[in-house]
Amino acid sequence: MLKLKPIRISLANKCQLLFGAAVVLILTAALIVVAMRMQALVEAAPLERARDFATAWLNNHIRLGNALLTIEEGGRGLPPDRDFGLTLIEDFEFERASGLDPFLARTIDRFSTTRKHQTFDIAEDTAGRRFYRYARAVRSSDLVSAQQLATGNGQAQEPIGPPEMILLIQLRDDRVAVEAATNRIYLVGAGTLSGLLAIGVFWFITTRIILSPVRVLRDYAGQVSRGDLNIRSDINTGDEFEELSDVFNQMLESIRDNQGRLSDANKSLDVKLGELAASNVALYEANKVKGEFLANVSHELRTPLNSILGFAEVLSESLSARTGPVDEKRKRYVGNILASSRHLLNLINDLLEVAKIEAGRVEVRIAPVSVDDLTEGLINLMRLQAENRSIALKRRVEPDLPILETDANKLQQILFNFLSNAVKFTPDMGTITLSASLIPEIPHTKPAQVRLSVSDTGPGIAPEDQQKIFEKFTTLDPSVTKEHGGTGLGLTICSELAELLGGSIELDSELGKGATFSLLVPVKAEPVGPIRRPPSGHGSEILAGEL
């Protein structure tokens, strides 16, 4: 839908339009009231003349002469050829007069039922000319008052009694229309002149007093927007515009001070960024040297350690092959050499694995993996360690799980670490369960995954420690470390390997209720690390020694 752009109108034009409309409305309302009052005064002039005629007739100051009209003539209105007419209607003629003229009918009824003594109306003759009709009720009290006033022995009294006659005066006054037109001309002229004068005054006020300081401030703001912060506003009007000018100058001072502080802060930040970049480079180099040193040292340590393990195994086999009595102390010493060497080899392998992961030299070998075969092999591999401590080892795998496309060695390494930790921390007569289930695909959001979980009935892990155990060299129970060994790198390595396989690790545990470590791996892995696919025809056989 097309959006209309609003029309831009300057402040000066808005003020002039608004003030002009206000002036027009105010003057129009005022002139309408004046016009109505002047029209009423003009219309009242014929009424006043008719009332004077009626009073003069009552006092016998005038004679009717040829101005007298019969009831039939007066009932039809004022003839076009006459400007004045007077009709005297006696009380016995009221009924006949009411039938001749509706105005007379209303007048007679009003005078008969109320104490009103005069009515007034405007009519038109047959030629379309306006004339005025005035009816005066003459009661007995009026006649008495008129006689007393004529002799100078009385005063006007309130009307008393029914009307004895009605005096109908009809007159024409062409000056009323002329005066009304003249009044309108004067009113329109005065209104126009007053409006123009008011608009001119408002224009001068808005332009000189209101808009001039605004334009000055606008020009100053334009120069500030172009980068000139040294300019200052100088408005001396003694009102809010001067206050606004002072605030504007204070704002410029604040902006300049803030810019100065910001410039100093940027310079300091540039220095710190340079130092930080140098520190990052040094840290990167140190980390690189550390990784290379760790990998080289680990490799160099593994070579003599393998020789020690080999000779210790030869000694153990030779002691076992003897038919005669065997020195138990010597046999115990050889066993200690084997256990310590294997423990040291595991530590070196963990350090070497971490170094390879940090250096980004871990390859992901994608191959088909059967979840059923994988879990069964792991159960068989851990069964002896579990039986030695009377721990029940269970396997729960959903039927018809899909074949995984992932790195079998790394997948088995993660699960083997979960199972080893479970055996370490589960008390005797406990239970360890290895389970596998399918997490269906969410279209366009999440691919299908397989959840591989290891649950135990061990002591559990506190919520505040569940993130710590995935950090390097972290162990929560030093006594277990002394008993079973370990560097605190196992779960760190598992977390890194799970990320390389495009999966994740979840932990659900409560103190005293055991723990469940779950590996969520996609059915078709999208690994993060370098991918390497084995040649066609090669399976995914895994040896325990590769763990």
DSSP secondary structure letters along 45-103: HHHHHHHHHHHHHHTT-S--GGGB--HHHHHT---TT-SEEEEEEEGGGHHHHHHH-HH
Quote the longest CA-to-CA distance of the chain.
Answer: 182
Strand order in the sheet with 449-456: 392-397, 431-439, 449-456, 515-522, 504-509
Which two tokens mark 78? 């004022």
Q: Could you tell me which residues come within 8 angstroms of residue 191 by beta carbon, excluding any fewer than 6 positions away? A: 27, 28, 31
Q: Where are the alpha helices (DSSP H) in 390-508?
A: 408-425, 478-484, 490-500
Residue 404: the pLDDT is: 93
State the pLDDT at residue 72.
81
User: In whole angstroms, what separates CA 361 from the centre of its chain?
Assistant: 49
Distance, in Å, from the CA atom of 410 to the CA atom of 529, rounded to the nearest integer, reads: 12
Q: What is the pLDDT of residue 298?
A: 64
Domain 363-546, CATH? 3.30.565.10
CA–CA gap between residue 50 and residue 57 (Å, rounded): 11
Q: Tokens 């752009």 map to which residue?
A: 5
Buried b (16+ CB within 10 A) or exposed e, 213-247: beebbeebeeebeeeeeebebebeeeeebeebbee
DSSP letter for 323, please: S
Which parts of the chain have pLDDT scores under 50?
1, 154, 531, 533-547
| 506 strand-pairing partners | 518
Return the closest-CA partner of residue 426 out of 505, 513, 363, 358.
513
**CA atoms of 489 and 288, how far apart (whole Å):** 19
* H runs (alpha helix) in 359-434: 371-388, 408-425
Please, what is the angle between helix 212-225 and helix 240-321, to 10°? 30
pLDDT for res 543: 32
Measured between alpha carbons, how far is residue 145 from residues 50, 160, 249 in Å?
19, 11, 87
Please count the residues of the chain.
547
Return the pLDDT at 517.
94
- Classify strands 84-90 and 118-124 as parallel, antiparallel or unpaired: unpaired
Cα end-to-end distance, the chain, whole Å: 66
> Structural domain boundaries of the chain?
11-180, 234-361, 363-546
CB atoms within 10 A of CB 530: 12
pTM check: above 0.75: no
pLDDT recorded at residue 508: 92
3-state secondary structure 245-276: HHHHHHHHHHHHHHHHHHHHHHHHHHHHHHHH
Measured in degrees and rounded to the nearest 5, phi and psi for residue 123 equal: -140, 180
Per-residue model confidence (pLDDT) at position 402? 93
Q: Nearest to residue 397, comparing CAs of 422, 378, 416? A: 378
Q: What angle do CA 197, 202, 205 make, to 5 degrees?
A: 130
pLDDT for residue 63: 61
Q: Which residues contact 110 (CB under 8 A, 6 or more apart)?
A: 116, 119
Cα 455 to the center of its chain, rounded Å: 47
Phi and psi of 527, rounded to 5°? -65, 155
